[in-house]
């Protein structure tokens, strides 16, 4: 059996990452102020196209910070997709608010805008539109419903760095957006996050809440209860180096996506990620779905076989309502699209340094598994 060792993801740190890291260390600015924090925040706001960007310790606390800054708390309801990463649900629960789930659209794998209205009650405060697997949500439709019910809209763009929706960049399409820079994300600092937005009063609240609630003009005076959700100058040094190369990294990942798609689309039972006409997704982790009746083995068996060949994969998200803390949120409703994706979907290795040969080998092994059958 051919055994090739391929991780599902690995960061590329081959630019100025080391130089900037050493520079940050030698400067002794290793906490959460310093030139790399300022540089990252202004460059990132510029790239996303918002007036402000604030760094945060990771993507999960960025979500929590955004919710608290918007005033979400006990008694409120927040609408999120049933199919997404668990951090979105957890962040809502941290605020004391109630979670309301809606199914995803089979054409985008993101929150289905036509399902939102029926989930709105007098307690609903807002909607978190998660750009699942790099594909932007249908933001015009979501913003329109939200506006008519006076709800805020938040984008979770953790998986959608530099994706565009009708030509506009993810992170600039709603009241506020959050990002993650975890090690497997397109741009990374190991751990890290950010919020992007245009509103000045929101900016002041975010800066206060991020630093224990400290007053803007009176140092060491804390008129509100805040958090320590800051990101370090060391992490921002890495992010500055990553941002210098974002175009090349996205281009390389797009090329990997293209080779995967052309090699895999002829294989019976392998489904590809749909792309809406108005979307230019971020090439995060390459996605496939496995239809057992045509492919001959199911998703889980394919994952085991690929693992035997040294190829690491990742199953799609388990639906929020399928996990113990959130089972009661499923209620009487069902989320058939979410459940099918969760059962049949998987991510294949995707990273900057992945060669065309390796993509070819992974695809050849998937094809061979199909031909050999169960």
Ligand X SMILES: *Cc1c(COP(=O)(O)O)cnc(C)c1O
Taking phi first (over 0 means left), then psi (-120 to 50 degrees means alpha), and beta for anything else, what does residue 75 get?
left
Q: Which is nearer to ligand X, 180 or 280 (CB)?
A: 180
Nearest in space to 278 (alpha carbons), one of 113, 164, 128, 169 = 164
What is the distance between the alpha carbons of residues 349 and 188, in angstroms, rounded to a whole number? Answer: 17
Q: Compute the least distance from the CB of residue 94 to ligand X, in Å.
A: 12
Three-state secondary structure of 270-315: EEECCCCCCEECCCCCEEEEECHHHHCCCHHHHHHHHHHCCECCEE
Q: Compute the least distance from the CB of residue 180 to ligand X, in Å.
A: 3
Residue nearest to ligand X (CB): 59
Q: Compute the least distance from the CB of residue 87 to ligand X, in Å.
A: 4
Stretch that binds ligand X, among 135-143, 155-163, 168-176, 335-343 (CB under 6 A): 155-163
Q: Which is nearer to ligand X, 233 or 282 (CB)?
A: 282
Q: Compute the least distance from the CB of residue 264 to ligand X, in Å.
A: 23
> What binding mask, one character per residue, do residues 75-104 give for ligand X by CB under 6 A, x or -?
---------xx-xx----------------
214 CB neighbour count, 10 Å cutoff:
18
Count of positions on this chain that bind ligand X (CB under 6 A):
14
Q: Compute the least distance from the CB of residue 293 to ligand X, in Å.
A: 30
Q: Which is nearer to ligand X, 57 or 214 (CB)?
A: 57
Report if residue 273 touches ligand X, rule: CB under 6 A: no
Q: Which is nearer to ligand X, 86 or 291 (CB)?
A: 86
Q: Which is nearer to ligand X, 130 or 302 (CB)?
A: 130
What is the distance between the alpha carbons of residues 264 and 177, in angstroms, rounded to a whole number? Answer: 33
Q: Compute the least distance from the CB of residue 335 to ligand X, in Å.
A: 17
Helix (H) / strand (E) containing 56: strand 52-56
What do you get for the CA distance between the two ends of the chain, in Å? Answer: 16
Q: Which two three-digit tokens encode residue 56? A: 């945060």
CA dihedral 362, 368, 371, 374 (to 10 degrees): -90
Q: Compute the least distance from the CB of residue 26 to ligand X, in Å.
A: 28
Q: Which two three-digit tokens encode residue 328? A: 């009661």
Q: Which is nearer to ligand X, 110 or 214 (CB)?
A: 110
Residues sharing a CB contact under 8 Å with residue 196, sequence separation 6 or more, in sequence order? 44, 45, 48, 50, 52, 53, 157, 171, 172, 176, 177, 179
Q: Which is nearer to ligand X, 149 or 246 (CB)?
A: 246
Report if residue 313 touches ligand X, rule: CB under 6 A: no
* DSSP codes of every residue in 245-265: THHHHHHHHHHHHHHHHHHHT
> 72: number of CA atoms within 13 Å, CB side?
30
Which of the 8 DSSP states describes residue 227? -
What is the distance between the alpha carbons of residues 14 and 2, in angstroms, rounded to a whole number? Answer: 29
Which residues within the stretch 183-242 sit at the binding site for ligand X (CB under 6 A)? 193
Report if residue 182 touches ligand X, rule: CB under 6 A: yes
Stretch that binds ligand X, among 113-121, 153-161, 164-172, 335-343 (CB under 6 A): 153-161
What is the distance between the alpha carbons of residues 237 and 13, in angstroms, rounded to a whole number? Answer: 12
Report if residue 65 touches ligand X, rule: CB under 6 A: no
What is the distance between the alpha carbons of residues 54 and 48, in angstroms, rounded to a whole number? Answer: 12
> What binding mask, one character per residue, do residues 119-138 give for ligand X by CB under 6 A, x or -?
-----------x--------
Q: Which is nearer to ligand X, 146 or 194 (CB)?
A: 194
Q: Which one of residues 45, 89, 139, 158 is an interface residue with ligand X (CB under 6 A)?
A: 158
Report if residue 59 touches ligand X, rule: CB under 6 A: yes
Q: Which is nearer to ligand X, 108 or 180 (CB)?
A: 180
Binding site for ligand X (CB under 6 A): 58-60, 84-85, 87-88, 130, 156, 158-159, 180, 182, 193
């Amino acid at each position: 059996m051919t055994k090739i060792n391929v991780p599902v993801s690995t960061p590329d740190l081959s630019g100025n990452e080391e130089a900037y890291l050493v520079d940050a260390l030698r400067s002794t600015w290793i906490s959460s102020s310093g030139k790399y924090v300022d540089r990252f925040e202004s460059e990132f706001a510029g790239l996303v196209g918002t007036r402000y960007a604030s760094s945060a310790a990771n993507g999960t606390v960025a979500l929590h910070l955004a919710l608290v800054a918007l005033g979400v708390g006990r008694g409120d309801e927040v609408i999120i997709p049933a199919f997404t990463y668990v951090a979105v649900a957890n962040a809502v629960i941290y605020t004391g608010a109630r979670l309301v789930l809606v199914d995803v659209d089979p054409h985008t794998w993101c929150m289905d805008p036509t399902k939102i209205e029926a989930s709105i009650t007098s307690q609903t405060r807002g909607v978190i539109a998660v750009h699942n697997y790099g594909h932007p949500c249908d933001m015009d439709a979501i913003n329109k419903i939200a506006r008519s019910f006076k709800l805020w809209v938040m984008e979770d763009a953790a998986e959608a760095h530099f994706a565009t929706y009708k030509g506009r960049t993810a992170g600039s399409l709603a009241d506020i957006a959050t990002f993650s820079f975890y090690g497997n994300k397109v741009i990374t600092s190991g751990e890290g996050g950010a919020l992007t937005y245009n509103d000045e009063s929101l900016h002041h609240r975010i800066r206060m809440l991020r630093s224990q609630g400290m007053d803007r003009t009176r140092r060491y005076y804390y008129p509100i209860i805040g958090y320590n959700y800051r990101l370090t100058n060391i992490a921002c040094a890495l992010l500055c180096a990553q941002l210098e190369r974002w175009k090349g990294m996205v281009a390389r990942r797009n090329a990997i996506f293209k080779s995967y798609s052309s090699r895999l689309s002829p294989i019976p039972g392998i489904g590809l990620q749909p792309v809406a006409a108005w979307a230019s997704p971020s090439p995060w982790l390459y996605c496939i779905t496995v239809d057992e009746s045509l492919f001959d083995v199911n998703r889980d068996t394919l994952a085991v076989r690929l693992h035997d060949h040294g190829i690491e994969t990742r199953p799609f998200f388990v639906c929020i309502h399928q996990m113990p803390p959130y089972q009661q949120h499923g209620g009487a409703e069902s989320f058939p699209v979410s459940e099918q994706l969760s059962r049949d979907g998987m991510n294949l290795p995707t990273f900057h340094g992945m060669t065309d040969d390796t993509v070819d080998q992974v695809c050849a092994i998937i094809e061979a598994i199909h031909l050999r059958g169960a």
